[in-house]
Structure 1
Amino acid sequence: MSRYALLVSPSANRVYARSVSALTVAELAVLAETALAGRLGEARPENVAGVEYVTFDGDLDARGLAHVANVSTAFALFERTPDDAFRPVALERLDAFDDDLLSILKYAGKTNELFTKLLLNVTVLASGSAARMLTDRLRVLDPLCGRGTTLNQTLMYGWHASGIDVDSADFETYAAFLPRWLKDKRLKHTATTAKLRREGRTLGRRFDVELATSKQAWADGDTITVSTALTDTREASEVFKAASFDVVVTDAPYGVQHGSRSGGGLQRRPRELLAESLPGWVRLLRPGGAVGIALNVRTCPRDDALAMLTDAGLEPRDTTAYRGFEHRVDQAIQRDLVVAVNPV
């Protein structure tokens, strides 16, 4: 086994920065339990010359190093030599586009981009698609997508992204942002907005984009799709085809941001919303697909969320590795994540 030191990304969010090493340790623990089982040792924070790294041992080939390179907080990786010198290791990331796709949109309540990437990574690693995440274009649904942070991280990986949100301002913001960004980057694409109709009734509106990473990819038909729907998330199974997604990844409402329409008003109570929406989300999962949900444990305790996932027919992943993600966001939000898998 070789010895490695991972330098984590600096975070503009000072609160998140205080948790970043512990979250990196937790993400590496899930990686060690899934795609790199038996090849990745226990990770731990370590201070070296006044700088904090996350260190671990590993028997890593090119594929293993590629998995580590895509850890949400990976900024730089070093192999430690026998005399404890640091030898830089190139990071082969999945990133298909410039990172301003993630950073340009700024607004109150936006989920930290590093945490969004972590949630996506952990959910995919728990799923049956873990072995394909470095090679294939996976299909990801965020059924509470807001202004598209998860959609944009999915695009960064070169994967197909779909979303649902009930807030018309968020829908319009994303439908304006993405085509403009693609034009600025001179990327081949088409973009359309239309009514969303099913069986003679109007559910809302939809926004569809087809794009490619290069002119040659466009000419070859190697395209990526983005599709968002302005409708209630409880209508998810009416919007998309059954068994069409590898993972469903979302932020449950923390009590202030997301919701669905109920009785003419906006429903923001997380437990009720999840209980009503999960059956529809699960119908959209392929066998072996996974659901990953970020939640505020002050308003939706972890065990309650796991029970709802079980009631929806999923198998929760609740080993020690998956219990290392709880962290403080602000005085009112103590965030955690839960993951469950659709049985094959």
Structure 2
Amino acid sequence: MSRYGFLVSPSHNRVYARSAPALALAELEAFGETVIDGGVQDAGITEIGGVPYVTFSAAELSGTEIRLLSNLSSLYALFAVEGDLLRPVARQPLDLFESDLLTIQKYAGKTNEDFTRLLLNVTALASDEPARLLTGDLRLLDPMCGRGTTLNQAVMYGMDASGIEIDPKDFDAYSAFFRTWLKNSRLKHRAETGTVRRQKATLGRRLQVALGASKELYREGSTIDVTVVNADTLRGGDFFRRGEFDLIVTDAPYGVQHGSRPHGGGNAGRLSRSPVDLLAAAVPVWQPLLRPGGALGISWNTHVAGREQLAEILEAHGFTVRDSAAYRGFEHRVDQAINRDIIVARKD
């Protein structure tokens, strides 16, 4: 067995930083359960030279395993622990673009970028092909995408990303931001915004983008495709095909800055502070869009809904909830009104 340690990223905001080591341990264990040969052992927080490291034992990591672990959401620098010495292990993260894609946007209620990466990672690991995290050919849907933090993280990984957002202001804000970022980054791309109609009825607006990670890839037609529709998530089947996605990753309404309207689009229906009603209505719509063996990951506020309630909804619609110690290790405090957790499940 070999011993390894990594520094937790110093870029976290103050509140998230308090939870980061425990979240890093849980995420590491999720990697160990799925893509690290023989798993990880003796994971914990170890002080080395007066600095806390997340440390663990494993069989000597292969090149593929180092590539996978390089994408841990909190990993800043990875080392092999050799006696009293630390030997740097070169990171090989998936990120195709500069981090400004994730960090430029600032607005009230934005989910922490590192947490978004964590949620995407552990959802991908729960699918029937977890190593595809490295391939860039996974297709992701965020059915309540807001201003696109999850979509942007998927693009960073080279994934095709689609989103649904009911708020026209958020749709417009994301469209403007993403187009501006593409131009400022001088990336070859096509971007179109139009209205989706069917049988003379307007279903919503749609942003479609095809971008190349390089000019050569763009010329070859090897593009990353991003699609966002401004519509009610309960109409997802009107815009996307059955089995189109490998991953569904989303933030459920936290019941603080916004609620949910589970009984109709626009301003119709009763405004609920709990995500339970919304998910009870939405999961049957999302489930057909996910391929068998694909995975769904949801973060939510435990103050307004219990884990058992969400698990019951998912299991009633053909999902198997991941319930290991690692997947129960993500609960953490955000502020006085939000205690956040993650639930992840695979489609049977």
TM over 0.5: yes
Give the conservation status (yes or no) of the 8 Å contact 1:45–1:52: yes
2:172 counterpart of 1:167? no
Give the conservation status (yes or no) of the 8 Å contact 1:291–1:340: yes
Structure 2 residue aligned with 1:292: 297
| Mean CA deviation greater in 258-267 or 311-320 | 258-267
Amino acid in the other structure paired with 1:306: A
Structure 2 residue aligned with 1:316: 321
1:342 and 1:109, CA in 2 relative to 1: closer, same or farther beyond 3 A? Answer: same
Give the conservation status (yes or no) of the 8 Å contact 1:30–1:122: yes
Deviations along 1:158-182, whole A, 9 cap, x unmatched?
1101000101110000000111101
- What's the CA shift for 1:132? 1.4
The SS at the match of 1:133 is: helix
Distance 1:37 1:249 in 2: 26
Amino acid in the other structure paired with 2:214: S
Give the conservation status (yes or no) of the 8 Å contact 1:144–1:233: yes
Deviations along 1:232-276, whole A, 9 cap, x unmatched?
011111111110000100000001236343625655531111100
Distance 2:53 2:112 in 1: 21
The SS at the match of 1:334 is: strand
Distance 1:337 1:112 in 2: 14
TM-score, length-normalised on structure 1? 0.96
Structure 2 residue aligned with 1:63: 64
TM-score, length-normalised on structure 2? 0.95
- 1:1-344 aligned within 5 A: 1-59=1-59, 60-81=61-82, 83-255=83-255, 256-257=257-258, 259-260=260-261, 261=265, 263=268, 268-343=273-348
The SS at the match of 2:179 is: helix
The count of corresponding residues between Structure 1 and Structure 2 is 342
The SS at the match of 1:15 is: helix
- What's the CA shift for 1:199? 4.2
Distance 2:14 2:184 in 1: 31
RMSD value, Cα:
1.4
Give the conservation status (yes or no) of the 8 Å contact 1:143–1:165: yes
The SS at the match of 2:194 is: strand
- What's the CA shift for 1:43? 1.6
Give the conservation status (yes or no) of the 8 Å contact 2:136–2:157: no
Deviations along 1:168-198, whole A, 9 cap, x unmatched?
1100000001111011111000101111223
Percentage of matched positions with identical amino acids? 51
Amino acid in the other structure paired with 2:294: G
Distance 2:241 2:130 in 1: 22
Distance 2:270 2:312 in 1: 27
Give the conservation status (yes or no) of the 8 Å contact 1:252–1:258: no
- What's the CA shift for 1:78? 0.6
Distance 2:260 2:188 in 1: 34
The SS at the match of 2:45 is: strand
- What's the CA shift for 1:336? 0.3
Deviations along 1:266-299, whole A, 9 cap, x unmatched?
5553111110000111110011001100010110
The SS at the match of 2:91 is: coil
- What's the CA shift for 1:36? 1.5
Distance 2:274 2:326 in 1: 28
Give the conservation status (yes or no) of the 8 Å contact 2:179–2:191: yes
Distance 2:231 2:213 in 1: 29
Distance 1:62 1:180 in 2: 36
1:338 and 1:37, CA in 2 relative to 1: closer, same or farther beyond 3 A? Answer: farther
The SS at the match of 1:191 is: strand
Distance 1:266 1:228 in 2: 24
Give the conservation status (yes or no) of the 8 Å contact 1:40–1:57: yes
Distance 2:177 2:185 in 1: 12
Where do 4+ consecutive residues of structure 1 move more than 6 Å? none
Distance 2:25 2:123 in 1: 16
Give the conservation status (yes or no) of the 8 Å contact 2:24–2:74: yes
The SS at the match of 2:276 is: helix
Give the conservation status (yes or no) of the 8 Å contact 1:166–1:259: no
Amino acid in the other structure paired with 1:107: Y
The SS at the match of 1:282 is: helix
5+ residue gaps, structure 1: none
